[in-house]
Amino acid sequence: MPAAYPIAILASGRGSNLAALIDAQRTASLPIDIVLVAGDKAHAPALRLAEEAGLSTLALDPAGYATRAEFDADLFARIAEHAPRLIVLAGFMRILDASVLEPWVGRVINIHPSLLPLYRGLRTHERAIAAGDAMHGASVHYVTSELDGGPVIAQASLAIAADATPATLAAELLPLEHRLLAACVELIAEQRVALDDNVVRYDGSALSAPLRLGPDGTLETSA
Ligand code: GRF
């Protein structure tokens, strides 16, 4: 059996996407080894969850650093000590410093709750409803210095119900996010997806559109 793929996860909040990856590691449905879970909030449920799962954790307080760049440099230096091949931002609510990120581009992914390029930033569910959109969804993308702007690997989508509220839409989307993130991590761990010169390659070919999460939980190319 090939060695498990080492990943680090950064999370600031609730940690449900983290929990989905922990489950996948535990049940061996994903060939991953979560080598570190790090965050910027010592009391975040995500870090508790990681501790309870027996994983290595790291909480760094941004208040202890003079600048964002110094915080990010220390965070990434400490992450590097654990030698992950992939860093997953799973509800990590900070913008990363471009120069710290630069050497890691292609090895950091983020999950964002919108069909990018729609609705970068916050309050995505509210904005999709207010715009009268028929569809909403989530995207997993490579992280670049542009906020929520890096090349998209894959998306999951759903129809917005007529009576949807931001809360109901978020709740409906969340299980799809978990499947989407796990499926993307699996393809990267299997080295079937990679970033090459700012283009996502899937089985060696440049993707012209994001992969789509199918009903069976696997990723498909767009028709
Ligand atoms: C998710 O909606 C994710 O898309 C966004 O932040 C939320 C994190 O949720 N980036 P959780 O902490 O994984 O439960």
CATH code where residue 40 lies:
3.40.50.170
Beta bridge partner(s), residue 200: 195
Q: Which residues are catalytic?
A: 112
For position 28, what pLDDT does the model report? 84
| For the CA of 15, the nearest atom of ligand 1 | 12
13 lines ligand 1 (CB under 6 A): yes
Q: Residues 6 or more apart from 162 whose CB is under 8 A from it?
A: none
| For the CA of 13, the nearest atom of ligand 1 | 12
Smallest Cα–Cα separation from 51: which of 33, 37, 32? 37
Pocket test for ligand 1, best of 124, 177, 213 (most atoms within 8 A of CB): 177
For position 98, what pLDDT does the model report? 96
Predicted TM-score (pTM) of this structure: 0.97
Q: Residues 6 or more apart from 142 whose CB is under 8 A from it?
A: 105, 106, 108, 109, 150, 151, 153, 195, 200
Domain count, the chain: 1
Determine the distance separating the centroid of ligand 1 and the alpha carbon of 1, expressed in angstroms.
Answer: 32
Determine the distance separating the centroid of ligand 1 and the alpha carbon of 204, expressed in angstroms.
Answer: 30
Smallest Cα–Cα separation from 108: which of 140, 135, 136, 132? 140
41 lines ligand 1 (CB under 6 A): no
State which residues form the domain around 159: 5-220
From first to last of its 223 residues, what are the pLDDT tens digits of the chain? 568 999 999 999 999 999 999 999 999 889 999 999 999 999 999 999 999 999 999 999 999 999 999 999 999 999 999 999 999 999 999 999 999 999 999 999 999 999 999 999 999 999 999 999 999 999 999 999 999 999 999 999 999 999 999 999 999 999 999 999 999 999 999 999 999 999 999 999 999 999 999 999 899 998 6
**Which residue has its alpha carbon closest to ligand 1 atom 2?**
113
**Which residue has its alpha carbon closest to ligand 1 atom 8?**
91
**Which residue has its alpha carbon closest to ligand 1 atom 9?**
91
